[in-house]
Structure 1
Amino acid sequence: MISRAYHATLFALYQLCIVIGIVAMPLAIAARQAGVTLPVHRILENVEEAYEATTH
């Protein structure tokens, strides 16, 4: 039961990170123009790895 809840939570977190990344795209483009990069891709990669580890 806990495994299912953990899996569902990771899936929701993964989807939320994708939405945040899409919404933050204009901010990320503006930040890159200023010479700053946002680490959204690292967060998404970490959550994706954790989610995929629960499915295998």
Structure 2
Amino acid sequence: MRSTLNRATVFALYQLTLFAGILLLPLALVMRKAGITLPVHRAVSRVNETYEEVDTDTAG
């Protein structure tokens, strides 16, 4: 039960991170023209890796 709750929490965090990245896209495009990059890709990658780890731990 705890692993299911943990997996659901990480999945929700992953979805929220993707949603935030989509919402920040216009700001990121404007900032990129100014020469500044937002590190949203790092947050999405880290949460994705965590979700995959949790998913493989509960699958077996």
Category of TM-score, reference length = shorter chain: over 0.9
Superposition RMSD in Å: 0.6
Identity %: 50
Please report the TM-score for the alignment, with normalisation by the length of structure 1: 0.95
Task: Please list every run of 5 or more consecutive structure 1 residues that lacks an aligned counterpart in the other structure.
Answer: none
2: CA distance between counterparts of 1:38 and 1:9? 25
1:1-56 to structure 2, matched below 5 A, reads: 1-56=1-56
Which runs of structure 1 show a deviation greater than 3 angstroms over 4 or more consecutive aligned residues? none
Task: Please list every run of 5 or more consecutive structure 2 residues that lacks an aligned counterpart in the other structure.
Answer: none
Please report the TM-score for the alignment, with normalisation by the length of structure 2: 0.89
